[in-house]
Structure 1
Amino acid sequence: MKMNIEEERFKYQTDYLKKKPRACFWILQKLRDDVLDSFSQEQRVSIACSNNHSLRVKILCDYFSSPETPISLSSLISEWNEIEKKTKPFQWIDIKNKDQVYWFYMHIRRKINSNNYDFTAITDLVHMELSELYYIAHYIFDDWSSSQESKELLQIKMKKNWEQKKYRDKVKGKKVLNIYLESKVKDELKKLAKENNKTITDFVENLIQKEVKLVNERKRREENINKMNKNRRPLRDCS
């Protein structure tokens, strides 16, 4: 059966929500803040437990399938599109990186909270699972009523702060070693490191660890030989 215009529009909108987790999260939160009374009791329970993208899509599809909703999905999508134009996503955040997502969430809360952002409305929205922390943090940033320039500046600062944190974590427990090498030797070292897809530091560390392992193995063999020699019985003199 051929769909009418309204059905085609609704299908397009639901497909849009499925492909846009950030938009879906933002729209559901807006409904929760603005028109929660228009949801049924069952839908309110679902919203309170909506801790994954698929469930959020289902809630929105069920809600907007009714012709009596006080707000249209089209208007919310249009509003979101305007936000999305001005707010670039944090593409450098790896949603599977637990340390990074947690840092992202805490950093966003700390930075935007200092600008009097009200967090009370979202504290019970979802269980704090990894992917949800990411979407909550992004929602806070997306909904932050600040200028585009301020948002872009915060993104730049956050990326710089994360790179600094990564570097500090990487060099933690390490000491600086200044040595002099002949130019030819240094060039060969760079070449070897590149061929092994390592930094010079990592390559040198790897070489040292291998050498230490060889030295220890040689010592163990020598110790075993010495023990065997000590335990060997002297030959009897049969003359």
Structure 2
Amino acid sequence: MRAELPFNSIREINWYLYKLGLFPAKAPSLTVKSGGDYIKQALHSRYKNAPEKVSLEINHLHQHFESEAIPDDIFNWVDLSNERQCTWLFLDLRNIMLASWLDENFLVERSMNSRCMDIVEQQFIFPRVELFVNSNPDKISRAIAFFDVLESEKRYKINYIYWLMRSWKIIDKQNYLLKWLDKKNNEQIDWVMEYLSKQESFVSLKNACMPVANVSKYSILVSAVDLFNHYEPKNTPRLELLIIKMKKAWSQKKHRDGLKGRKAYNVIMSTDAKQKLKVIADARDYKQNETIENLINEAYEKHLVEKKRKN
């Protein structure tokens, strides 16, 4: 019998804690050593009247982990420097865990064992698989934790991950839909997120726009579109029409905002003055109406200075 747990990583510690139903208050700060000590102490306490069962339990856990755990390098196809790819993967798995609108057929079609619905129904039954992430490596760690917790055969997990890899190769080519967005324009990003959140006929798109701590709204928006193409590839034309409509709505909003405090005027001037106005506007790289407004402001400022000097 194996006398000690082969505590090799925090990942294994988390898996043992989950299988044993042990969730210490300080779990997030556990190290491999402190986690291992906690597990051994808990097992000896649980089997204090039958200490021989500790070795049996330890041996069983180790064999179970070895047979069920997906390979550590199975996500090597993910580029950790690619914010879009990492966020897409993380949000895809988050949606499976949290979205009640996904039915069993969705998962079965993607080579997943129907038992994975256990985790959907219980909504994050493993506390250590958190929605809080600080970096792209964090997102991949959450993805691995998701599959560690998933009550499904190892082959189904691997099949699904390979399906994700194939899906990304297709999705990666569809990055043109939101290229018009300015990632530094918070007003625009907020407006687009609100616009998409109201699209009742695009359920997966609406749910994908849920915020995530420490993940930029822009990244979530891009991933929301990626996820829609991921879930509903046949509806990509519908999505393209929606984005065209949304882009036009944004342009109209900006136009209306630009007209605030402004009024149209009919001004009659000589042809010669009109030509001179064009020359000045071209030289300053302004529109002609902007040039007129600037000339008026300059003249007004000069007037105030002269008036103050005379007084």
| TM value normalised by structure 2 | 0.56
Contact 1:22–1:135 under 8 Å retained in 2: yes
1:175 Cα deviation after fit: 0.8
Distance across 2 between alignment mates of 1:63 and 1:197: 55
Q: Of 16, 19, 24, which aligns to 2:86?
A: 24
Distance across 2 between alignment mates of 1:93 and 1:196: 28
Contact 2:189–2:218 under 8 Å retained in 1: yes
Unaligned 5+ segments in structure 2 are 1-70, 98-115, 149-153
1:167 aligns with 2:255: yes
Unaligned 5+ segments in structure 1 are 1-5, 224-239
1:44 aligns with 2:132: no
Which digits, 9 at most, give the CA deviation of each residue in 1:8-38, with x for residues without a partner? 9854x132x422x233222112223156959
3-state DSSP class of the match of 1:92? coil
1:14 aligns with 2:14: no
1:176 Cα deviation after fit: 0.6
1:176 aligns with 2:264: yes
1:100 Cα deviation after fit: 0.5
Q: Of 169, 176, 180, which aligns to 1:88?
A: 176
Taking a change above 3 Å as real, the CA distance of residues 89 and 51 of structure 1, as seen in their structure-2 partners, is farther
Distance across 2 between alignment mates of 1:201 and 1:193: 9
Contact 1:193–1:199 under 8 Å retained in 2: yes
1:143 aligns with 2:205: no
Counterpart residue identity of residue 126, structure 1: V
Taking a change above 3 Å as real, the CA distance of residues 119 and 101 of structure 1, as seen in their structure-2 partners, is closer
Considering Cα pairs closer than 8 Å and 6+ residues apart, tell me whether 1 or 2 has the greater RCO. 1
Q: Of 126, 129, 132, which aligns to 2:212?
A: 126
Distance across 2 between alignment mates of 1:212 and 1:40: 69
Taking a change above 3 Å as real, the CA distance of residues 152 and 122 of structure 1, as seen in their structure-2 partners, is closer
1:143 Cα deviation after fit: 2.8
Taking a change above 3 Å as real, the CA distance of residues 137 and 79 of structure 1, as seen in their structure-2 partners, is same
Distance across 2 between alignment mates of 1:55 and 1:205: 53
1:206 Cα deviation after fit: 1.2
Counterpart residue identity of residue 78, structure 2: T
The sequence identity of aligned pairs, in percent, is: 27
Q: How does 1:64-103 map to 2 (within 5 A)?
A: 70-71=157-158, 73-85=161-173, 88-103=176-191
Q: Which residue of 1 aligns with 2:40?
A: none
Equivalent pairs counted in the alignment come to 209
1:126 Cα deviation after fit: 0.9
Taking a change above 3 Å as real, the CA distance of residues 122 and 148 of structure 1, as seen in their structure-2 partners, is closer
1:99 Cα deviation after fit: 0.6
Q: Which residue of 1 aligns with 2:10?
A: none
1:98 Cα deviation after fit: 0.9
Q: Which residue of 1 aligns with 2:292?
A: 204
Contact 1:18–1:54 under 8 Å retained in 2: no
Contact 2:277–2:288 under 8 Å retained in 1: yes
1:162 Cα deviation after fit: 1.2
Taking a change above 3 Å as real, the CA distance of residues 71 and 153 of structure 1, as seen in their structure-2 partners, is same
Which digits, 9 at most, give the CA deviation of each residue in 1:186-219, with x for residues without a partner? 2221221122121112221111111111111111
Contact 1:93–1:101 under 8 Å retained in 2: yes
Q: How does 1:200-239 map to 2 (within 5 A)?
A: 200-223=288-311
1:190 aligns with 2:254: no
Which digits, 9 at most, give the CA deviation of each residue in 1:91-120, with x for residues without a partner? 111111011010111111113x24444856
1:78 Cα deviation after fit: 1.2
Which digits, 9 at most, give the CA deviation of each residue in 1:107-160, with x for residues without a partner? 11113x24444856764x513x7x632233333333333622211111211111
Taking a change above 3 Å as real, the CA distance of residues 138 and 220 of structure 1, as seen in their structure-2 partners, is same
